Amino acid sequence: MPITPTGKPLLDAALGIRQEKPPVWIMRQAGRYLPEYRAVREKAGGFLDLCFNPDFATEVSLQPLRRFDLDAAILFSDILVIPHALGQPVRFAAGEGPLLEPLDANAIDQLTPETALEQLEPVFEAVSRIKSALADDKTLIGFCGAPWTVATYMLGGKGSPDQAAARLFALQHPEAFAALIDILVEVSARYLIAQFRAGADIVQIFESWALNLDEDAFVHYVLGPNARIVERVRADIPDAPIIGFPRGAAGMIGRYATETGVNVLGLDFSMPVGFANKMLPETLTVQGNLDPLRVVAGGKQMEDRARAIVDGFKNRPHIFNLGHGITPQTPIEHVEVLIRAVKQ
């Protein structure tokens, strides 16, 4: 059955309608590279105060669209609002990133999934406000962190280059780990459902730490939980459009696409365009995948690589994005040039 266009280029691309020019959004497009974001961040105080204040969260979500010709706003929040809502305190230390008190096997039973969504009500209010402020042709993206990625912070207490604490915990305490994943699947799915009901057009599941896993671990920690979230969301929101971003999935991207059932497969910047085209169904929309440091450097190399990505995916639906989040030192004028190059 033909898909009826929505009038939103990015949402249409996500639904499988190839656009003449790829729609564009940028991961972390609301962030520290923008002076107006830094001003609001200063006013908010703590980072979570910014995330949980609907006025501030709405403002910073809309800021990038005032500067750039972007096709979507993404809710300003953080993947770690989920553990915070589950009763595991999260704090953000300058220069250190997020810090949590690591869970042990006994502490998992002390989490509070039954009241988690109540703690997240300010997020849903922000979604509603952002949606009401957007032009009709702009898409609103909601999101959550994937269970494995969120669990790595909950078990390790902070980000790490190899997620060793969580990997070891999963091997040594499989029952406790499975219980934690079950909680995260259910709460994350309910969180995304609530975002859809508040006005999100599409949501993204950030599996930011899909790398560093062997094949068996990837199947059990990434594929299974992500597929369960998609199924659970669509049980309440039929045909819900969903982006999966399994950073570092490498040779497992084909299985991720087919076994999770996502509408869009987000590609990290290490993924070769030709390999992605070979491994993924030709009707599947892809998103990505410029190296963020190319935008920091700017110039001809950035434009050439961006055009090569657009050309490489010209025969399938494609949403242009970076292959990971934009970095704080990125010059604003480089972002302007990048978007103009892609749109032209």
Residue-range domain boundaries for the chain? 9-343
Q: Of how many residues is the chain composed?
A: 344
Domain 9-343: state its class.
alpha beta
Q: How far apart are CA 247 and CA 210, in angstroms?
A: 5
Q: Are 141 and 74 in contact (CB under 8 A)?
A: yes
pLDDT tens by residue, 134-175 = 999 999 999 999 999 999 999 999 999 999 999 999 999 999
Q: Are strands 97-100 and 139-145 parallel, antiparallel or unpaired?
A: unpaired
User: What three-state secondary structure class fits 202?
Assistant: strand
Please give the structure tokens belonging to residue 255. Answer: 């299985």
Catalytic residue among 33, 37, 153, 221: 153
Please give the structure tokens belonging to residue 135. Answer: 């032009």
Catalytic residue among 28, 129, 167, 247: 28
Q: How far apart are CA 149 and CA 86, in angstroms?
A: 16
User: Residue 97: what pLDDT?
Assistant: 85
Q: Are 76 and 61 in contact (CB under 8 A)?
A: yes
Q: Which pTM does this prediction carry?
A: 0.97
78 is annotated as an active-site residue:
yes
User: Residue 96: what pLDDT?
Assistant: 74
How far does the chain reach from its first CA to its final CA, in angstroms?
31
Q: Which of 89, 50, 224 lies closest to 147, judged by CA?
A: 224
Q: How far apart are CA 187 and CA 82, in angstroms?
A: 8
Q: Kindly give the confidence (pLDDT) of every residue in the chain, 344 residues in length, as a single tens digit, with 9 standing for 90 and above.
A: 678 999 999 999 999 999 999 999 999 999 999 999 999 999 998 999 999 999 999 999 999 999 999 999 999 999 999 999 999 999 987 777 899 999 999 999 999 999 999 999 999 999 999 999 999 999 999 999 999 999 999 999 999 999 999 999 999 999 999 999 999 999 999 999 999 999 999 999 999 999 999 999 999 999 999 999 999 999 999 999 999 999 999 999 999 999 999 999 999 999 999 999 999 999 999 999 999 999 999 999 999 999 999 999 999 999 999 999 999 999 999 999 999 999 98
Task: Give the side-chain half-sphere CA count within 13 A for 130.
Answer: 35
Q: Which residues contact 104 (CB under 8 A, 6 or more apart)?
A: none
Q: How far apart are CA 46 and CA 101, in angstroms?
A: 18
User: Residue 93: what pLDDT?
Assistant: 78
228 is annotated as an active-site residue:
no
Q: Are 281 and 258 in contact (CB under 8 A)?
A: yes
153 is annotated as an active-site residue:
yes
Q: How far apart are CA 32 and CA 43, in angstroms?
A: 14
Provide the β-strand partners of residue 144: 205
232 is annotated as an active-site residue:
no
The separation between CA 67 and the C-alpha centre of its own chain, rounded to angstroms, equals 21
Q: Which of 55, 30, 120 lies closest to 84, judged by CA?
A: 120
User: Residue 3: what pLDDT?
Assistant: 84
Catalytic residue among 18, 55, 78, 182: 78
| Side chain identity at residue 226, one-letter code | N
Residue 319, H or E segment: strand 318-322
User: Residue 94: what pLDDT?
Assistant: 73
Q: Are 316 and 286 in contact (CB under 8 A)?
A: yes
User: Residue 1: what pLDDT?
Assistant: 65
Catalytic residue among 37, 41, 221, 247: 41
41 is annotated as an active-site residue:
yes
State residue 46 phi and psi, 5-degree precision: -75, 155
Q: How far apart are CA 231 and CA 239, in angstroms?
A: 10
